[in-house]
Amino acid sequence: MTSAPRAPDMTTPGLRVGVLLATGLGLGYAPMAPGTAGSLGSVALFVLAQWSVPAVSFPFVYLIALVALCVVAWWSTEQALRHWPGKDPQAVVIDEIVGQWVSYGGLLVAAAPPLAAAGWKYVVAGFILFRAFDVLKPFPIRRSECLPGAAGVVMDDLLAGIYAAAGLVLLAWTGWLS
pTM (two decimals): 0.86
pLDDT band at 116 (very low <50, low <70, confident <90, very high): very low
> Are 93 and 37 a contacting pair, CB within 8 Å?
yes
> Are 46 and 119 a contacting pair, CB within 8 Å?
no
CA of residue 4 relative to chain centroid, distance: 19
Tens digits of residue pLDDT in 136-154: 999 999 888 878 888 889 9
Q: What is the CA radius of gyration of the chain?
A: 16
Cis status, amide bond into 59, omega within 30 of 0: no
